[in-house]
Structures are given as C-alpha cells and as structure tokens.
Amino acid sequence: MVGAKAGDQIRDYIKTSDSPTAEIEFLGTLIGPSPPSPRVAAFSSRGPNHLTPVILKPDVIAPGVNILAGWTGMVGPTDLDIDPRRVQFNIISGTSMSCPHVSGLAALLRKAHPDWSPAAIKSALVTTAYDVENSGAPIEDLATGEPSNSFIHGAGHVDPNKALNPGLVYDIDVKEYVAFLCAVGYEFPGILVFLQDPTLYNACETSKLRTAGDLNYPSFSVVFGSTVDVVKYRRVVKNVGSDVDAVYEVGVKSPANVEIEVSPSKLAFSKEKSELEYEVTFKSVVLGGGVGAVPGHEFGSIEWTDGEHVVKSPVAVQWGQSSVQSF
C-alpha cells in the first residue's frame, strides 16, 4: 500500500517503461524520532459536538492509519463486489481500525478490573491519555500542519499502561444517563426507546442534574453566550488507587479569556469516603457575543494529582452559537 504521490510515480513509470520491473527490499523495523508520532490523520473526525455542545467530542485518539489486521473472507480486500480476491489480512485506515484498538483496551481493563462500569473504563482511558508526540511537542494535526487541540484529539492518545492504574475515575450509572437525556430535552415515553425499563419512568422528575453539563463526564466543554458568562459544573471522582487515604490536589491550566475555580482544591479520600464531589466554576473574562468579540474557542485542562497519579481532564470553551457553527 502506497500513498497517492508514490502511486502516481509508479503509474508513470509503468506507462513510460518498455519493461517495468519492481523490487521490494526489506529493511526491517525502523525506530527513530522522524517522523514524530503520534499525529492526527487528516480524515479523523473533528469536534465540537454540534448536537450537545456541553459534552466534549472526540474523547480520545488511537492508532488508525495503515494498520495490518485480520480480514474477512466474505469480501475482497477492496470491499467491492467486483473484487474476486480473498485475503486473510489487509491494511486498513480509519475509525474501522481505531475502534478495535480502543475496544481491545476496554476488554483488557475489564479483565483487570471486573467491577468497573463502562463509564469507569472510559474515564480511565480519557484521563490518562497524552497530548504530546515522542519529540515532546504537541500532537500535530496532519490536516493543517498545526498543533492539534481537544476538538481534534479529545483528551489525547490512549495509554494502555497508565489506564490500568488511573488513580481516580468518573463513574456514571444508568439513572444519570437517563437524567442527562431529560436535561437535553428527551421526554417519556420516548426515552423508553433507549431503556425499555418502565421502572425509570419518573427519572426526569427525580433527576439530580442541574444541566446536561453536570453529567459526570471525564472532560469539560463550556459554552458562553451573550447572556451567559459564568458556568458551573459538578463532578464526582472515585478513588480506585491502592492507597485508600490518598490526597489529591488540583492543578488548573485555564484557557485564554477564562478564569477557572475548583472547589474544593484538595480531595482527601478515606476508607469510608472513596467518592468525593467537587465543583468547577468557569468565568469568561471578556464579553460574550461570538467570534467578533473573542476567539471562537480556547482550550485548557484540570488535573488532580496525588504525587503518583495524574488525572487529567481536557477543557474546551466556546463563545456563542455562531462560534460553534463557524469552526
């Protein structure tokens, strides 16, 4: 498999040569700093989340370019009906390859931690991801050649080893997901399409979420408007580390034009208190009103650390609906 540029050169050579030949030389595995990795493919899906802007998307990135993987014998390597070939392996790029990488990591985490929920597994993958390449520079976006951001790489590239021991996780149960659906405008009986559980019929009335942004997600997405310059989110973290008496302190990297206050700034866990709540206040220090007044979006992070673990959540901030649409 070769890229478009090399493919054009090969075709030109075949057309202009009376007796074209080819030779493959196996050089073995080459490891080095050039080119830097990982980098975000130009075709990778991008944020922000247009349907629910208070939930950051994407979540993470994972290997998905030129992946050698097992291939079904039902179709040919091109996946076209006119292709009669059958192969056991194929080189594939896209979400079709990133998804099984992350799914495999989730399976490994589930095996290591059988009591973890899907949300806890997702949290571990998100809060331990990294956003710099092996040269130490920010991960590059191949679509622009510029450094990527949380609307491009989410929290960053998954790190399986760190995800096994994340320190803290953001867990979510079924009732909280139902409350989220209520907060974004779904109503019963329509919600039963997702649940098929009539016992949760009154979930909207008993919802604990103040807003959809209060869903206990391991990242933060904030939207300021012309009349909204302060946004508050609640989060609950669960200590899953080996030290039941761990003490975590917060570190904040505020996006430009935004002040962030986390209360409390220290979380002291114990055997009796393995889950603790905190609140984050985001304040726009410039007037809202869209792209003309301030940048359409800015990025930062909130980190909790006990000296052993770093539990990092990306922060994405947008000003006004117009900035969301113009990105």
**The dihedral sign for the CA sequence 67, 161, 33, 57:** positive
For residue 206, list its beta bridge partners. none
Distance set, CA 288 to CA 50, 223, 257 (Å): 19, 10, 10
DSSP letter for 198, please: G
Phi, psi of 215 (to 5 degrees): -55, 135
Average pLDDT on 269-284 reads 97
Q: Which of 40, 60, 64 is nearest to 157 (CA)?
A: 60
Lowest average pLDDT, out of 31-40, 255-264, 272-281, 307-316, goes to 31-40
Give the tens place of pLDDT for each residue, 290-313: 444 445 899 999 999 999 999 999
Distance set, CA 108 to CA 156, 159, 160, 239 (Å): 19, 12, 9, 20
pLDDT attached to residue 312: 98
Residues of the chain with CATH 2.60.40.2310: 4-172+216-319
Give the tens place of pLDDT for each residue, 129-171: 999 998 899 999 999 999 999 999 999 999 999 999 999 999 9
**Torsion angle in degrees (nearest 10) through CA of 238, 240, 241, 247:** 10
Contacts 24+ apart (CB under 8 A), 188-197: none
Distance set, CA 146 to CA 42, 62, 137 (Å): 11, 19, 11
* Confidence tier at 217 by pLDDT (50, 70, 90): very high
Q: Which of 95, 315, 72, 71 is nearest to 217 (CA)?
A: 315
Top-tier CATH class for 4-172+216-319: mainly beta
Lowest average pLDDT, out of 86-90, 222-226, 272-276, goes to 222-226
**Distance from first CA to last CA of the chain, Å, rounded?**
33
pLDDT attached to residue 174: 87
Hey, how many other C-beta atoms are within 10 angstroms of the C-beta on 166?
26
Share of the chain above pLDDT 70, in %: 94
Q: How many angstroms separate the CA atoms of 137 and 16, rounded? A: 43
pLDDT attached to residue 292: 45
Residue 154 region by backbone torsions, left for phi larger than 0, else alpha for psi between -120 and 50, else beta = left
Residue owning tokens 């991801």: 129
Could you tell me how many residues make up the chain?
A: 327
The C-alpha angle 217, 222, 223, rounded to 5 degrees, equals 140
Q: How many angstroms separate the CA atoms of 290 and 296, rounded? A: 7
Q: Which of 301, 300, 299 is nearest to 250 (CA)?
A: 301
Q: Which amino acid, 252? A: V
- Alpha helix locations (H) across the chain? 4-16, 95-112, 118-127, 150-153, 160-163, 174-183, 192-195, 320-326
Question: Which pTM value belongs to this model?
Answer: 0.87
